[in-house]
């Protein structure tokens, strides 16, 4: 590639002043062809890619935006079939969605619905000098900011964003004395709760204190269920609890119990 075949950028700029975009593109293309004269096929390909690198990069970015933006808008606007949080998941574990996908198939949610996972939430017992942000005496840290990173966990629960929570014993200890959960009997109805205890008398129910100091049965040990195994959680003892909801019928908690244990309301 000889130097006299390649004009400088300054010469190109001066020669193209006043030209339309179409005329500039034609002039540049002619210059590209002139510069490739005498090159081998391999050299022509390399020079062509180099010469049009700006157009190529711009085209790739535009193509990505054309594809990504509609997909993002579609995913953001789809109605939520179920929302949940897995607390204290180890940072190197990716929560599987197998059980959630099976849940959505079971209740015939179509592809227009989505499941919302609030990930990376850590609830750990308070230390004498806590290093994480404290909200209502609950120490909360976030592994990432892709979902719940800008909203505190208590607010997510109180505002009805989370339908159910899976957690370990440390998280359950942190929630003792909080007002985030209601009793299983009030959430599921007395009818469903009685059926659950009658069908599974060995079921381990966990009680904690609410904000008023009352003892409430609010969590179920679901460690050995196929439902929990489908999440690939990093710890072995897993507890299920339901935050307060704005839905007076508590449809989602009842669906979860039906999906896991096969308990339906007889009303």
Residue 55 has pLDDT above 80, yes or no: no
Q: What is the mean pLDDT of residues 257-266?
A: 88
The residue among 259, 251, 262, 224 whose CA lies nearest residue 99 is 259
Q: What does the pLDDT read at residue 139?
A: 56
CA distance 93 to 171: 17
Provide the strand spans (E) within the chain. Answer: 80-86, 114-118, 121-124, 133-135, 138-142, 164-167, 205-209, 215-221, 239-241
Give tens-digit pLDDT for 83-140: 999 999 887 888 899 999 999 999 999 888 889 898 888 887 765 444 444 455 565 5
By the 8 A CB rule, do 111 and 256 touch? no
Pairing of strands 121-124, 138-142: antiparallel
Phi/psi at 82 (nearest 5 deg)? -155, 140
Taking the model in full, what pTM does it have? 0.67
């Amino acid at each position: 590639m000889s130097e006299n075949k390649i004009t400088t950028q300054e010469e190109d700029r001066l020669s193209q002043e006043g030209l339309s975009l179409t005329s500039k593109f034609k002039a540049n293309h002619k210059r590209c062809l002139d510069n490739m004269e005498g090159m081998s096929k391999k050299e022509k390909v390399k020079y062509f890619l180099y010469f049009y690198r700006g157009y190529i990069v711009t085209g790739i970015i535009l193509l990505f935006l054309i594809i990504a933006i509609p997909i993002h808008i579609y995913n953001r606007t789809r109605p939520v079939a179920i929302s949940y949080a897995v607390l204290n998941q180890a940072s190197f574990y990716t929560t599987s969605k197998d059980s959630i996908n099976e849940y959505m198939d079971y209740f015939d949610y179509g592809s227009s619905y989505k499941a919302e996972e609030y990930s990376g939430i850590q609830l750990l017992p308070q230390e004498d000098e806590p290093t994480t942000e404290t909200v209502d005496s609950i120490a909360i840290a976030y592994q990432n900011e892709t979902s719940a990173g800008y909203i505190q966990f208590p607010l997510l629960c109180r505002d009805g964003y989370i339908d159910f929570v899976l957690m370990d014993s440390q998280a359950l200890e942190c929630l003792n004395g909080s007002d985030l959960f209601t009793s299983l009997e009030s959430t599921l109805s007395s009818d469903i709760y009685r059926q659950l205890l009658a069908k599974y008398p060995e079921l381990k129910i966990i009680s904690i204190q609410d904000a008023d100091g009352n003892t409430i049965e609010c969590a179920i040990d679901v460690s050995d269920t196929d439902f929990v195994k489908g999440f690939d959680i990093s710890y072995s003892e897993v507890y299920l609890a339901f935050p307060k909801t704005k839905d007076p019928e508590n449809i989602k908690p009842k669906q979860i119990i039906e999906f896991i244990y096969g308990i339906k309301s007889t009303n």
